Amino acid sequence: MSSSPTPPGAVAGKPVVVLRPAPQRTDRIFTPGALDLLRDRFTVVDLEGDPSEKALDEILPETFAIIGQPDLPAERLARAPALRALLNVEGNFFPNVDYETCFARGVHVLGCGPAYAQAVAEYALALALDLARGISREDRAFRAGRERYVSDGNADAVLLNGSDIGLIGFGNLGRSLHRLLVPFRPTLRVYDPWLPPGALREFGVLPAGLDETLSRSRFVFVLATVTDESRQLIGERELALLPDGARLILVSRAPVVDYPALLSHVARGRLLAGIDVWPDEPVAADDPVRGLEGLVLSAHRAGGIPQAFLSIGDMVLDDLTLLARGLPPARMQPAARELVGRYRNRPVT
């Protein structure tokens, strides 16, 4: 096979970086300053306007890193002998890459999940405070002329401060949320089967089984990713363990929860819930969930804010700069060889 021509504009000593960020956009994840630095430090081959497989194949033999996650089976990776990094800027590790080949070849596979963690954590806290005090519910009542003054509107109000709180999952989201919850002096129980109890105790939380976490928590944050093991993790049996009046906040992945079972508990007035992710998005216009009291509804808004998106570009630039110097990445999330094949997350549209 003949070698590919030198990329137009390539400079000796500047590694070739392919920019193919779909479904993201370059202007969404890079500030002008960060993009200028990227182009100053690397030979950037911009394929955003030409995402064809042919264009990618032509440049692969020269490529040091790819910003994006195009299909990379083993035979395609074989045509990229200089590849050292794949930087996913969508937020999920999808099964369109031969990860084993990447690991065997020392290709760093990095994800941008940490960029969203703070935004999601703050949003989850906001949902919890809303559910604790009925903020959006009483706002709707006020606008409709049904407001209740002073204690009349607080019959079911509770404090987050000093509460028993359960976290289902303690990855990027759980750790960011933990920092926000500490000032409320809660008793924090964490269920995460991927972490040993000692690792959890180092954060000052109580390791607990799923049943204990649910049955002893007034607030439960569902923060787990989707695997075959976690699909429908919170079903009817688990929901029945929650105390009456408990508040459940779901901001990670919809398949982790049995929605009909959860909505049934909410409809009966036994539980309150704040939901940001849904089994089918967009939610149908006539879905009964829209009129169900006891819910705070959100249209998958927790993480996708401009600050979070722009931090992705900064993370990409920092880690590419380190890799070009022969140093390990420091800001993005490395794909774990033992875990990356387990994820079952869907693309966010």
The confidence score (pLDDT) of residue 317 equals 98
Walk me through the domains of the chain, giving residue ranges and CATH numbers. 16-112+306-342 (3.40.50.720), 116-297 (3.40.50.720)
The confidence score (pLDDT) of residue 2 equals 37
Q: Rounded to whole angstroms, how far apart are CA atoms 249 and 131?
A: 9
* Helix 306-324 and helix 32-41, axial crossing angle in degrees, nearest 10: 20
Residues facing 168 on adjacent strands: 191, 222
Q: What is the dihedral of CA 8, 9, 11, 15, to 10 degrees?
A: -70
Please check whether residue 172 is in contact with residue 117, taking contact to mean a CB–CB distance below 8 angstroms: yes
pTM: 0.92
> Both tokens of residue 97?
């890459």
At 165-219, the pLDDT tens digits run 999 999 999 999 999 999 999 999 999 999 999 999 999 999 999 999 999 999 9
At 294-337, the pLDDT tens digits run 999 999 999 999 999 999 999 999 999 999 999 999 999 999 98
Phi-psi region for residue 330, left (φ > 0), alpha (ψ -120 to 50) or beta?
A: alpha
The confidence score (pLDDT) of residue 21 equals 95
Q: Rounded to whole angstroms, how far apart are CA atoms 87 and 102?
A: 12
Percent residues over pLDDT 70 in the chain:
95
| Residues of the chain with confidence (pLDDT) below 70 | 1-12, 346-349
Q: Rounded to whole angstroms, how far apart are CA atoms 187 and 185?
A: 7
